[in-house]
Amino acid sequence: MIIRYLGDSELAQVRRRRWRKVFYVIDDDLMRLDDDRSVPEDYRQRLLAFRQKRLPDILDLADVIVAPNERILEGYPSKKGERLDPCYVTVCDDLRHFDDYQTIRILFPGSRSHLNDLAFLQEGLLRLSAAHTELEIVTYMGANAPVRLKGMEQIQHRKPLPWAAFQKEQQRERFHICLMPTVATPFNQARSINKLFDCAAVGAVGVFSRGGPTDGVIADGVDGLLVDHDVMAWEKAVGFLIDDMARAKTMAQACLDKAGLCGNPVRVRDFWRKQLDI
């Protein structure tokens, strides 16, 4: 099983043996990057270099492509494709933080590849911060955060963390609202539903883009909010939750339940048991 990327030594190791079947697990849409400049350019160039120099070697070995989105699988028409949604790592076990919301904590969990999505929200976040002094907004953009959002007392831009460290921090942190817009770009349209699990990990109600990866998973107004691509609509949606934290708590609980249903690790385990005949 090859997961995402492969270095020279790993490639040599895979080539030294004869395998009954090789699976390639990929969660980025590498095939639509030529005309999609929505992600940071240095990141885009790294992905393009990988696609040109190393992906052909991996595809020579791979029998099956496993991805969380059909759009990714469409990029490999000569290979057998299997759709597999991710599972959660952890789900918040209580919502006691909703008992005290003198400070309302809002999380933007996106990595640097979501910088364009955060930039879309910036004017709304500035207005919300000015109108609601009880807000504390956290991102993991560090120095990469949009300039307009830097130096704001209510907005923390923590340094980006490796995935494992980010997961551990999520287990310790609690938030009330989680914002995950996905601007309608080819790269974003091929993303997975993993941001649902970020919301559940920190015990928050999620606000997602209508038409994004969580369409068909999130029931609008029940276990999250789906919002049109309009910053004023996002500002209004967040304001709605701020003004009714009892409703927000109910929706956060429903979000935990939805994550537990959609992200059950047993489903992923059973998928691989079937694929590997074990």
96-262: CATH number: 3.40.50.2000
pLDDT the model gives residue 35: 84
Mean pLDDT, residues 131-160 taken together: 95
Q: What is the token pair recorded at 53?
A: 């120099």
Where exactly are the structural domains of the chain? 2-84, 96-262
Q: Residue 211: pLDDT above 90?
A: yes
Q: How far is CA 70 from CA 62, 85, 100, 249, in A?
A: 18, 10, 41, 33
Contacts of 14 (CB under 8 A, 6+ apart): 2, 6, 22, 61
Mean pLDDT, residues 143-164 taken together: 93
pLDDT the model gives residue 7: 87
Q: How confident is the model at residue 131 (pLDDT cuts 50, 70, 90)?
A: very high
Mean pLDDT, residues 149-170 taken together: 93
The pLDDT tens digits for 45-74 are 999 999 999 999 999 999 999 999 999 999
Q: Is the dihedral of CA 100, 102, 108, 109 positive or negative?
A: negative
**Buried b / exposed e along 238-256 (16+ C-beta atoms within 10 A):** beebbeebeebbbbbbbbb
Contacts of 163 (CB under 8 A, 6+ apart): none
Sole residue written with tokens 């952890």: 90
Separation CA 182–CA 191 (nearest Å):
9
Q: In the 8-state DSSP scheme, what is residue 224?
A: B
- Strand residues in 205-249 grouped as ranges (E): 205-209, 225-227
Amino acid at residue number 102: Q
pLDDT > 70: what percent of the chain? Answer: 100
Q: Residue 100: pLDDT above 90?
A: no
- List the 205-209 sheet strands across, edge first: 155-157, 135-139, 104-108, 177-180, 205-209, 225-227
pLDDT the model gives residue 260: 93
pLDDT the model gives residue 109: 96
Sole residue written with tokens 């190791």: 13
Cα 46 → chain centroid: 20
**Buried b / exposed e along 39-72 (16+ C-beta atoms within 10 A):** beeeebeebeebbeeebeebeeebebbbbbbebb
Neighbour tally for 101: CB within 10 Å: 15
pLDDT the model gives residue 101: 82
